[in-house]
Copies of this chain bind each other. A is one copy, B any other.
Amino acid sequence: MEIDEELEYQLGEVTRKTHDMEIPVMIIIEGPPASGKSRLSNALYMALDAKYTDFIATRPARGIDLRYPFMQRFWNHLPKAGDINIHFRSWYAQYIEYKEAGITENVAVDYGEIAEDMQNFEKMLHNNGYEVLKFYVNTSEEVRQRHLEKLKENPVLKWKAEEFEENLELFNYEEEMQDFVEEDQLIPWTEIDFENKNEAINTMFSTIIEKLEARIEKENTTPVPRIVSDFTRYFETELFTFDFEKEKIEKSEYKDILPDLQLKMREIQFRLYQHKIPLILVYEGMDAAGKGGNIKRTRERLDPTGYTVNAISAPTDMELAHHYLWRFATSIPRSGHIGFFDRSWYGRVLVERVEGFASQKEWTQAYDEIKDFEKSLCNSGAVILKFFLSLDKDEQLKRFEKREDNIEKQWKITSEDWRNREKWDRYLEASEDMIKKTDTDYAPWHIIPGNDKRYARIEVLKKIISACEKVLEDE
């Protein structure tokens, strides 16, 4: 059987269309050693336009890889709108390697949880417009043996055959993969037999063409309703009801406590480092609630080589062309490090909801996506704390006016801040929904009354220290 040139042309056509329509495509190719998956992948790689195609060979995780969450490498490589990734081996191969080799360095819980993270990851891609195609090259043992023998005949390639055989002995890859392929997954597998090379290539090409054409058809016929967020007409808060007058701390007391807490925080940093535990600190809150100053007090005595501050502003073009979690997922601190997020992925359900940048469907499904995302970080060993700095509307006004009057702080206040203030109730409602829907035991929210900045700073430091000490006790 010949390679069908008409199929090759159609594949080029359909992927030029998905490129123009800005549909991101991920093609996963798994298969045991010597099954023929590299020849198959090469035929695919050659047929696609290199301008928007990336070939990503997942090599075994080593060294620095192990200091990041399990899914990190795949987040890093997520295709942007219109691009195509060929994943030669994927999170499945990595999962099996980890499990069989008993790697626990960035896996804090049992492997069942990681397998669930993988399915959540695929669901999230699917629900956000990613076209994910999964192929399993299921070639008979006999044919694979033939491939191996042929490799061995060539003195230059002999070592590769030996490597294959070693891998076969080491890992239970086939059996584990078979379970995955037979499982009832949201995105099903297409099995391909490589007994006849060209037939295998034709099968793969026509499967991709068919699925992408169906997607394009659907895109063209199903108009996407862009309902913008609904809000309660007269919203009354349940969560933000503290008596700010009581949540105060005197300056003298503050000056007394702060240095000790900061030193304690420094010790926590080094102990987390020694135990390779990553700490993720998320700060949300109204404009002028004091997030930056709060973070500043916490980081003041820290070793800067062990933490990063991610101050989030509007996404760049490149970030907009990716999944909304991408810019955050690629900034997660590695094990033993601390990552501050001054605003975060919660922008999806706050500013994007209020301003209508995300559709109702998008921000509604984001609650679960964010919970799954945070869970996957915890499954890889992270400690997550989330702070919502609250202040009342009068106090915000005072701070805005103070900023405008002070020449050294004028840059901090823009017309956008004033516009946001007009939507105070909507931000409040969005914040309350967010906290109610994403407060979990593995990544809890702490609402911090922030009318008194000193009080808020001390509170946050205390909460971080006590949560970390609890975790470190168990180590």
Known contacts being A42-B299, A304-B42, is A50 close to B342, with CB within 8 Å?
yes
A345 within 8 A of B: no
Q: In the bound complex, do residue A267 and residue B41 qualify as a contact, i.e. CB atoms below 8 Å apart?
A: no
Partner of A304, one of B41, B300, B308, B309: B41
Bound state CA distance, A57 and B273, in angstroms? Answer: 15
Q: In the bound complex, do residue B51 and residue A311 qualify as a contact, i.e. CB atoms below 8 Å apart?
A: yes
Q: In the bound complex, do residue A271 and residue B16 qualify as a contact, i.e. CB atoms below 8 Å apart?
A: no
How far does the Cβ of A419 sit from chain B's closest Cβ, in whole Å? Answer: 19
Bound state CA distance, A411 and B154, in angstroms? Answer: 41
A416 within 8 A of B: no
Q: In the bound complex, do residue B305 and residue A38 qualify as a contact, i.e. CB atoms below 8 Å apart?
A: yes
A156 within 8 A of B: yes
| Stretch from A95-103, A131-139, A312-320, A431-439 at the B interface | A312-320
**A149-178 toward B: CB 8 Å interface, digit per residue (1/0)?**
000001011011000000000000000000
Q: In the bound complex, do residue B313 and residue A316 qualify as a contact, i.e. CB atoms below 8 Å apart?
A: no
Q: In the bound complex, do residue A304 and residue B50 qualify as a contact, i.e. CB atoms below 8 Å apart?
A: no
* Chain A, range 37-79, C-beta contacts under 8 Å to B: 38, 41-42, 45-46, 49-51, 54-55, 57, 59, 62-65
Q: In the bound complex, do residue B9 and residue A304 qualify as a contact, i.e. CB atoms below 8 Å apart?
A: no
Known contacts being A46-B299, A50-B342, A304-B42, is A160 close to B57, with CB within 8 Å?
no
A303 within 8 A of B: yes
Bound state CA distance, A267 and B316, in angstroms? Answer: 44
Partner of A303, one of B16, B38, B311: B38
A183 within 8 A of B: no
Partner of A270, one of B51, B156, B308, B411: B156
Q: In the bound complex, do residue B57 and residue A270 qualify as a contact, i.e. CB atoms below 8 Å apart?
A: no
How far does the Cβ of A66 sit from chain B's closest Cβ, in whole Å? Answer: 10
Given contact pairs A41-B305, A45-B304, A156-B271, a sample of 5 additional A-B residue pairs in the complex whose CB atoms are under 8 Å apart: A38-B303, A41-B304, A62-B64, A156-B267, A160-B270
Residues in A lying within 8 Å of B, measured CB to CB:
9, 12, 16, 38, 41-42, 45-46, 49-51, 54-55, 57, 59, 62-65, 86, 88, 154, 156-157, 159-160, 267, 270-271, 274, 292, 296, 299-300, 302-306, 308-311, 313, 316-318, 342, 408, 411
13 A–B pairs (Cβ distance < 8 Å), ordered by A: A38-B303, A38-B305, A46-B300, A49-B311, A50-B310, A50-B311, A55-B309, A57-B304, A64-B64, A156-B271, A157-B267, A159-B270, A317-B317
